[in-house]
Amino acid sequence: MSREISPDQVSELREPAGDIRWYGVVLLVGHVALLVLGAVSLWRIAGGWWIGAAAAAVFVLAYAASWRFWLAPGARGRLGYKERLTVTMVVGPAVVVLGSLAGLWLPALIATSVVLLGDALNERSA
């Protein structure tokens, strides 16, 4: 009992289903920067190839999972703005401390600021 649908029965989309805001792109760049800086800092601090690689891999997996399920704009279980701010205020300074131990404190501080500002501006422009 399959009913075939002809092309004239399908409605056209007049507007795109979703658009990408500029602040969302800035937010993504900030998260990627925090991810990379945290992993590189852990790798430098550990000093050994295997221990450093394992620590960096665990950090990357944990950060990527938290971003995918809680922080990403398209996530189903996305946290509210205040909760995302709390996560950023915990993870950001932790990456800054790791970065300062590895000599990367300034890029980590800038990446944390970009995430904070990008999320606030993306939330405001929604």
Place of tokens 């404190």: 105
What is the 3-class SS of the chain, one letter each residue? CCCCCCHHHCCCCCCCCCCCCHHHHHHHHHHHHHHHHHHHHHHHHHCCHHHHHHHHHHHHHHHHHHHHHHHCCCCCCCCCHHHHHHHHHHHHHHHHHHHHHCCCHHHHHHHHHHHHHHHHHHHHHC
pLDDT at position 22, please?
A: 85
pLDDT at position 58, please?
A: 97
Candidates 39, 30, 20; CA nearest to 84 is: 30
pLDDT at position 74, please?
A: 82
pTM over 0.85: no
pLDDT at position 18, please?
A: 63
Block means of pLDDT (10 residues each) for the chain, 126 residues, are: 67 60 90 97 90 95 95 89 95 97 96 95 82
pLDDT at position 49, please?
A: 86
pLDDT at position 101, please?
A: 96
CB atoms under 10 Å from CB of 69, counted, come to 13
- Segments making up each domain of the chain, as ranges: 31-125
Using the CB atoms, write b or e for 45-67: b if 16+ within 10 Å.
Answer: bbeeeeebeebbeebeeebeebb
Candidates 71, 97, 74; CA nearest to 84 is: 71
pLDDT at position 8, please?
A: 66
